Amino acid sequence: MIPKWGMALFALWVVIDGSAGAEDLDLHEDEVKAGFVYNFAKFVEWPEDTAHAYVNLCIVGDSPFGFAALKAIDGRRVTQDKQLVTKLLNKSDDLTACQIIFIAASERGNMAQLLKSAHQQHTLTVSDIEGFAQAGGAIGLVNADGKIRFAINLLAAKDAGVLISSRLLALAMIVYDEHNIPLK
């Protein structure tokens, strides 16, 4: 179990470094991924008409995050007045209360439908499915040389009506432009 101060230090390090290996701070890969998603919430703006008291992270499918990883980020502040709330959803659950949807690999077959629904709801989409950002997801987690990195699809973010901070864009391994062409 990671103490709260350890997760906070790790979260800060992830934002500064932009990558993390599961071996760092003796964290498991699911905890590293959860730390990334938590930090994404800090660097994304949603349309004002979709403002909520919380930033709801909804996980669709078989969660890649263990209980400890979800507990470490649940209730953490993402802004001065908003906390992150994690929710595990069933396939039939409504996505309207979600600001971030993590699409698990078990939902690869439903990915196109989930992306369409999420974009209509002004929801940031995140996944560790291979090629997720290139396939239309906003942020794809990528395992590159044993480190977790991320790719961003600007068109997907724009379609969802979310604005991704330039600070987060600068840390991305790949950024796909509005024509789905890699910028870096």
Q: Residue 79 forms beta bridges with which residues?
A: 82
DSSP string for 34-55: HHHHHHHHHTEE--GGG--SEE
Task: State percent of the chain over pLDDT 70.
Answer: 82
Which pLDDT value is given to residue 68? Answer: 87
Run of H or E including 5: helix 4-17
**Is there a contact between 184 and 174 (Cβ–Cβ < 8 Å)?**
yes
Every domain of the chain and the residues it spans: 4-176
Which one of 12-26, 42-56, 59-73 scores highest in mean pLDDT? 59-73
CATH superfamily, domain 4-176, is Response regulator (3.40.50.2300)
Which pLDDT value is given to residue 179? Answer: 77
Phi, psi of 179 (to 5 degrees): -115, 15
**Is there a contact between 40 and 76 (Cβ–Cβ < 8 Å)?**
no
Q: Which residue type is seen at 170?
A: A
Instruction: State the pLDDT confidence band at 44, using cuts at 50, 70 and 90.
Output: very high
User: Which segments within 34-161 are labelled E, that is strand?
Assistant: 44-45, 54-60, 77-79, 82-89, 100-103, 124-127, 139-144, 147-153
**Measured torsion, CA atoms of residues 122, 163, 139, 69, in degrees rounded to the nearest 10:** -80
Distance spanning both ends of the chain, measured CA to CA: 36
> Residues 62-71: what's their mean pLDDT?
88
Which pLDDT value is given to residue 163? Answer: 96
